[in-house]
Amino acid sequence: MEIIYQDKRILLVIKPWGVVSTSEPGGMPDLIRAELGDENACVRTVHRLDQAVGGLMVFARSREAERRLSAQMAERKFHKAYLAVVHGVPDARGAFHDLLLRDPRRKMTLVTDQPGKDVKEAFLEYERLSTVKGLSLVSVQLHTGRTHQIRAQFAHHGFPLAGDRKYGLPGDDFPHIALWSHRLQFTHPETGELMDFTAPPPDIAPWTLFSAVLP
């Protein structure tokens, strides 16, 4: 795990694959405390990435910083952008606006056309950056933060993510899901400064197919 920025109120880190984002044994807060060498450090999860997904995350170092960052998210002033590699060739630009239902028994998110108590609106926009050998690199702007949203929506619309064992294609043998938290943009909870961070995906397949065009 790499800490790319820290001050007394926030930490920006690269979350590895296979680690939970929340305060569970072995989760990201525990890893950050170990990296800081302080098992009692205040590290608060502000947003989440799926356990299988890697990339940029910001953590709060105080209760007030957590409150202010959470307020930015609620007001949609906290911007998250992702890179993904999908099977197929989606439109050059597009948007998915769906209703999502979480199935806790199967731990899956399903697209539905029926409104209901547990059904939530999901909206994202994307841009196709390149296509190689039947795979497309897309940038994704997430406007709502539903569980498995990007994975479920792209799969539903016919473009499952490479390496996705839950929503992807049978026989897909990429070692990790090709979804990466690429950019975070928000206002610093204490100074009010605009914070804008980017991080490239790892140098492994299928990302290496798009090395020449990765932002």
Q: Is the dihedral of CA 8, 193, 72, 46 positive or negative?
A: negative
Contacts of 2 (CB under 8 A, 6+ apart): 13, 14
CA distance 72 to 78: 5
* Catalytic residue list contains 203: no
CA distance 55 to 183: 9
Catalytic position from the list 7, 30, 38, 50: 50
25 preceded by a cis bond (ω within 30 of 0): no
DSSP 1-62: -EEEEE-SSEEEEEEPTT--SSSSTTSHHHHHHHHHT-TT---EE-S---TT-EEEEEEESS
SS3 163: coil
CA distance 81 to 125: 10
Instruction: Please answer whether residues 62 and 188 qualify as being in contact, where contact means their C-beta atoms are separated by less than 8 angstroms.
Output: no
Catalogue the active-site residues: 50
